């Protein structure tokens, strides 16, 4: 890995390769010595180069967005079965959030294209089940119902949770604050 290449030397790497060939009674001492050498080298290196490793930082800007799903996959290589299960849950949640964002963008685009289309009126109606018939009062097809039917049960549950949170945030923002 890049981290190992940055914070070690070829000499230390050679010692690591030789470690299994050293007399078993000396291997423990040699392992401690190798780690000590790595620590010394890392401390010298950090003092001489006090800059941030840009590839290791998490960024939120558009060009340098960290792929959290890929990060979860990399972490799972070194994780216990329970940690892998938690990472998988986190990845599923990220996927659901991406799906929610895509649906939100699709609905917004449809509302811009068809401003008179009442079947795509709001997320709230679909999330709360108010438009569960597949058509509105005038009999037109509900695009929101179609999109909701494309989700898995877990994704629907996550969507409804996000929708409830959005409604709670909206109601908090619209409630006047009494300063008296």
**pTM score:** 0.44
Mean pLDDT of the chain: 74
The answer to which of 15-24, 64-73, 127-136 has the lowest mean pLDDT is 127-136
Q: Taking the C-alpha atoms of 125, 128, 134 and 137 in order, what is their torsion angle to the nearest 10 degrees?
A: -50
Which residues have a Cβ under 8 Å from the Cβ of 113 and sit 6 or more positions away?
A: none
Question: In this structure, what token pair is assigned to residue 37?
Answer: 């050498």
- List, for residues 134-178, the tens digit of each pLDDT value: 444 444 456 667 677 777 787 778 778 777 777 776 666 555 555
* The pair of three-digit structure tokens given for residue 9, joined into one six-digit string: 């030397």
Average pLDDT over residues 24-45: 93
């Amino acid at each position: 890995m890049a981290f190992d290449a940055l914070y070690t030397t070829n000499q230390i790497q050679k010692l690591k390769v030789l470690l299994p060939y050293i007399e078993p009674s000396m291997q423990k001492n040699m392992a401690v010595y190798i780690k000590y050498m790595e620590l010394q080298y890392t401390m010298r290196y950090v003092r001489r180069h006090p800059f941030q490793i840009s590839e290791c930082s998490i960024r939120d800007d558009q060009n340098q967005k960290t792929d959290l799903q890929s990060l979860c996959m990399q972490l799972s290589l070194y994780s216990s079965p329970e940690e892998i299960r938690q990472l998988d849950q986190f990845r599923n949640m990220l996927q659901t959030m991406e799906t929610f964002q895509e649906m939100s963008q699709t609905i917004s685009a449809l509302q811009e294209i068809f401003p008179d289309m009442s079947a795509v009126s709001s997320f709230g109606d679909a999330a709360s089940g108010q438009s569960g018939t597949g058509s509105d009062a005038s009999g037109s097809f509900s695009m929101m119902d179609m999109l909701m039917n494309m989700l898995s049960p877990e994704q629907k549950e996550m969507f409804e949770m996000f929708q409830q949170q959005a409604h709670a945030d909206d109601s908090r923002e619209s409630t006047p604050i009494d300063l008296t």
